Structure 1
Amino acid sequence: MKKTILITGASSGIGKATVQYFAQQGWNVAATMRSPQKETELTKLPNVRLYALDVTNTASIQQALKGAIADFGGIDVIVNNAGYGAVGIFEKSTPEQVQKQFDTNVFGVMNVVREILPYFRKKRAGTIINVTSMGGRITFPIYSVYHGTKWAIEGWAEALQYELRPFNIRVKNVEPGAIKTEFLETSMVLFDQKGFDEYDTYEKVTFKNGADAYVNAPGPETVAKTIFKAANDSSYKLRYPSSNQSSMLLFLRWLLPTSAFNGIVRVIVEKGFK
């Protein structure tokens, strides 16, 4: 019997690549996004159906889950992929920008999980996969708010796994590094409050050095394959780094004293800053 996966944020990038990869592997795929009427490519794939879902709107989550269960006969795996990056100097952010970042990247994930849990508990099975980031366990300049959301999900998921294990529900975090997607162009909000000129040089240098990491980065299919591995892993393993870069940096973060690792980050990301 075919398994069914529901993926949030499926209109582009990692989400879209994951829909395509799972469809190629013969899975049923519930591809969710805020505006499915705008999507044309995914509608051509076999065993793929589109649903409207906004992770900040509980009613839309409930409707999408209900529709996918009715159409496919059930859901086996949920992938929490929807999110974006609010980045820049923290002092240049507004409270509203910070709130919106947490509403989507943290509370949005919790909203989806809260709605699927009664179904998974009843069937005594299910897998929850969160697309977090290596930035959920390490940090870089000008990403403080974004990091805050990813660290929150990493800690929340690590605790949640204990509660759900008695019900045979698995929790897994997929941790990409830099991935070549539309992230820099369409999935990033830059803090730009005026009156903080003192930060300009530092922000410009660190943003450029950070962006350079994306030039030779792997594509989103790398993450899709890691998600597929996690979805098919019957163990209770929690974390799955999803690129050579993320594996290496996370290993160094574990191996080195914090001061030494932070020194490496500064050498790379602050290169050219005087």
Structure 2
Amino acid sequence: MTKTVLITGCSSGFGLAAVGLFADEGWNVVATVRRLEDGAPFAGRDNVLVARLDVQDPATIEAAIQAGIDRFGGIDALINNAGFGLFGVFEGTSPEKVREQFDVNVFGLMETTRAILPHFRANRSGVVVNITSGAGVFGLPMSSLYNASKFAVEGFSEALSYELEPLGVRVKLVEPGGVLATKFGQRVGAEAAQTTAPEDYAPIIAAGETLFEGLRAVRRGATPADVARVMLEACMDRTDRLRWVATDDIKPLVALRREAGEDVYWAEMRKAFALKG
């Protein structure tokens, strides 16, 4: 039988690529966007339903899920892809932006998951794929809030997997690194421009920006299509595997964090990232 996936954040980047890939692979796709006009790239595809979904608006979440069920008869997979990143020192970020970071990346993801679980439980089947980041595995300078939101999703997903596995519902984590051909970096830059940090942080901010510019210059990042392929693999996986590292650029740091031991990890990270004032 044809499977159906609902994907959040489909107007660009990973979500946009995932809609095309899943549809090409024969899935029905509920492609959700905050503005319906952003669904124009999917017009004319019989197996794609464009639905409005803003993860900060619970009513749109419920409506999009119901629209997908009504159109395709059910939903088999949820990909929580919507999100954005804040870049800058914590003290220079407004409380309003802190809340927005968590409203979108954490609470919106949770609300979307909560809304679809009754459907999955009724079917004793389903998969929740949460898109996190290398920033959900290791800390990075100038990224404390984005790190915090992605660390939260990692912990939530791991714990949730214990609760849902006996009900026939699987949880998966896809962890991409730096993919340059998306609008994510543009949003990060726009958000960073709105922060105002105390002058004491100026040398740290300058060093951090130089560090990340250097990383961007040498990065041979994956494409959104590569990450979408990992999403598809995770959705189709029938094992109890939880995590997929989706891009090669972060694999050395992920291995350092998860395999090298605490002392080795911190020695290497401080060498690479410690910023001196």
Which aligned pairs between 1:157-168 and structure 2 lie closer than 5 A? 157-168=157-168
TM-score by length of 1: 0.93
What does residue 184 of structure 1 align with?
185
In 1, the alpha carbon distance for the partners of 2:257 and 2:71 equals 44
1:179·1:214 contact (CA, 8 Å) conserved in 2?
no
Count residues with an aligned counterpart.
Answer: 273
> CA deviation digits over 1:173-230, x for unaligned, max 9?
0011111222111355217444611212221221232244344311111110110110
- Counterpart of 2:87? 87
Unpaired runs of 5+ in structure 1?
none
**Equivalent residue, structure 2, for 1:169:** 169
User: Which range is displaced more, 227-236 or 36-45?
Assistant: 36-45
Q: 1:173, 1:59 → 2: CA distance?
A: 26
Q: SS of the counterpart of 2:203?
A: helix
Of the candidates 234, 239, 245, which is equivalent to residue 241 of structure 1?
245
Question: 1:218 maps to what in 2?
Answer: 222
In structure 2, list runs of 5 or more residues that go unmatched.
none
User: CA 1:195/1:112 → structure 2, altered by over 3 Å: closer, same or farther?
Assistant: closer
- Percent identity between the aligned chains? 37
CA gap 1:208/1:219 in 2 versus in 1, 3 angstroms:
farther
Corresponding position of 1:205: 207
Report the alpha carbon displacement of residue 90 of structure 1 after superposing the two structures with TM: 0.6
User: 1:46 and 1:204, CA in 2 relative to 1: closer, same or farther beyond 3 A?
Assistant: farther
TM-score (ref. length: structure 2): 0.93
The residue type equivalent to 2:84 in the other structure is Y
The answer (yes or no) to whether the contact 1:90–1:191 under 8 Å persists in 2 is no
Matching residue of 2:198: 196
Q: Is 1:141 the counterpart of 2:141 in the alignment? A: yes
Give secondary structure in 1 for the equivalent of 2:40.
coil
Per-residue CA distance 1:105-142 (angstroms, 9 max, x = gap): 00000000110000100010000000011211211100
Residue 231 (structure 2) pairs with residue 230 (structure 1): no
**Change beyond 3 A, Cα 1:192–1:115:** same
RMSD value, Cα: 1.8
Distance in 1, Cα, partners of 2:173 & 2:58:
23
- Asked if the contact 1:105–1:150 (Cα under 8 Å) also holds between the matched residues in 2, the reply is yes
Say which is worse superposed, 244-253 or 216-225, in terms of deviation. Answer: 244-253
SS in 2 for 1:87: coil
**Distance across 2 between alignment mates of 1:214 and 1:26:** 35
Contact in 1 for aligned 2:6/2:29 (Cα 8 Å): yes
The alpha-carbon distance between structure 1 residues 192 and 37, as it changes in their structure 2 partners (threshold 3 A), is closer
Aligned-partner SS, 1:56: coil
CA–CA distance in structure 2, aligned partners of residues 33 and 187 of structure 1? 19
SS of alignment partner, residue 238 of structure 2? coil
SS at 1:114's partner residue?
helix
In 2 relative to 1, CA 92–13 (structure 1 residues): closer, same or farther, beyond 3 Å?
A: same
1:24-103 → structure 2 map (5 Å cutoff): 24-103=24-103
